[in-house]
A and B are shown apart, each in its own frame.
Chain A
Amino acid sequence: MSFSRTIAIAGVLAATAAAAAEIPQEQRRSGFTFMTPETQTMQNDDTANPGMLWVLDGETLWNKQEGNAGKACADCHGDAATSMKGVATRYPAFDKTLGRPVDLEQRINLCRTNHQQATPLAFESRDLLAITAFIAEQSRGSPIEAGSDPQLEPFIAKGRALYTQRQGQLNLACNNCHEEVWDKRLAGSAITQGHATGYPLYRLEWQTLGSLQRRLRACMTGIRAQAYDFGSPELIDLELYLMSRARGLPVESPAVRP
């Protein structure tokens, strides 16, 4: 990237971000690069990646007729490999009716309510994780583009504000670890830059697949703060900020992380 372009981008970042320095574009790395070769292999091998079990379940659910409308996702969206390719790279996305961003899980539930006349699936339920994983996997390898819609700017700014706000008994902000000391370790674990490139992902600690919202809540519990509720605007704004911060990095869903 040319020098003047870097300065221009830095200027834009400085204008939109509050004080603290975001990681420069060229230094950004996915959490994948911090893992041991064994865990990386677990992610890359579709026959060994436990997340693929949910992707397979999601494919079954994609074709299952649901709700009073008796429609399956496939009835409107056809073959997911075509219709859903690139979708996960653009989420969280702006929803006109609600006037705010929604993440992929919320979009799925909006479709269920509005188009399938079915009850929404609970956050972190196996079915919701499975459909989300199936849809996200269709974008695997594609670069993240979230946040480019100008309507999302105020929400990205809110997300950034939350990201840099100290909280909890440990009085830490996300960026204290994930921007300032991402190359160091906390107890035995690599801190990483915290890019949300592979959600929903199989976390070895959970021994199951989980969403980004679950991970953010765990982070907050970790700093001894009261975690925001599932589906709360704070979590969605944070999700949006994180995805826009990861712009350019490829989607890895379903990833594996320690």
Chain B
Amino acid sequence: MDQSTRREFFALAGGATALAVTLRPAEATPAMLASAIRNVVGSEPVKTGKVKLDIPPLVENGNTVPMTVSVDSPMAPEDHVKSIHVFNEKNPQPNIGNFHLSPKAGRAQVSTRIRLADSQKVVAIAKLSDGTFWSASVDVVVTLAACTDEVI
């Protein structure tokens, strides 16, 4: 990206973030996602690969979505995954969870259950011991349950 478009991008991202803080919209924006990712990776490039993000493409219920993130890594003292960060595009907040692993983890794989408010993209970024960042993303379709209780 050249200087001028980068400046525009950051201006937009900065502006959108400020707006989000004051008005607290019900939905995040792709700019909030980019900003949250930037908080983790700084100015380092994020490469695609090594990371596998397992989420059902059509979820049964957005309240509880099983998710497994795994990273192809020998998990050796000189080459291992330090942390995995998962983000989303359209929940009220861009962060889902950060997982910090030890070099002795044996396998870089974490499973949990997450909430997705709407059909959206989920992104997982792994930070390796050599300082590089790798990512994978999945587009997930989320529908509302057909018969719901009244809320509270």
Contacts and interface: CB of A to CB of B under 8 A. Distances in A.
Judged by DSSP, the binding face of B is loop
B147 A219 contact: yes
Judged by DSSP, the binding face of A is mixed
A38 interface: yes
A222 B148 contact: yes
5 contacts: A36-B60, A187-B144, A214-B149, A222-B147, A222-B148
A204 B147 contact: no
Contacts, number: 56
Tier of interface size on chain B:
10 to 19
B146 A186 contact: yes
A221 B149 CA distance: 7
B4 to A, nearest CB: 43
Interface string B97-131: 00000000000000001000000000000000000
A83 to B, nearest CB: 34
A112 to B, nearest CB: 26
B64 A207 contact: yes
A38 B113 CA distance: 11
A119 B12 CA distance: 61
A189 B148 contact: no
Nearest to A220: B147
A161 interface: no
A38 B143 contact: no
Contacts of B48: none
B21 interface: no
Contact of A218 (B56, B113, B148): B148
Contact of A207 (B63, B143, B144, B150): B63
Contact of A205 (B66, B148, B150): B148
B143 A36 contact: no
Interface of B: 56, 58, 60-61, 63-64, 66, 113, 141, 143-150
Contacts of B113: 42
Contact of A187 (B56, B66, B146): B146
Nearest to B143: A188
Given A204-B64, A222-B147, A258-B145, 16 more contacts: A38-B56, A38-B66, A39-B60, A186-B147, A188-B58, A188-B141, A188-B146, A189-B145, A204-B60, A204-B61, A205-B63, A207-B64, A214-B149, A217-B149, A218-B149, A222-B148
B55 to A, nearest CB: 9
A167 to B, nearest CB: 14
B148 to A, nearest CB: 6
Nearest to A42: B66
A218 B147 contact: yes
Nearest to B61: A204
A187 B60 CA distance: 11
Nearest to B150: A221
Interface in A203-218: 204-207, 214, 217-218
A36 B56 contact: yes
B54 to A, nearest CB: 9
Contacts of A42: 64, 66, 113
A214 B149 CA distance: 9
A47 to B, nearest CB: 12
Task: Please provide the 7 A-B residue pairs with the shortest distance between their CB atoms, ordered closest to farther.
Answer: A188-B143, A222-B147, A204-B61, A258-B60, A186-B146, A204-B64, A258-B61
A189 B149 contact: no
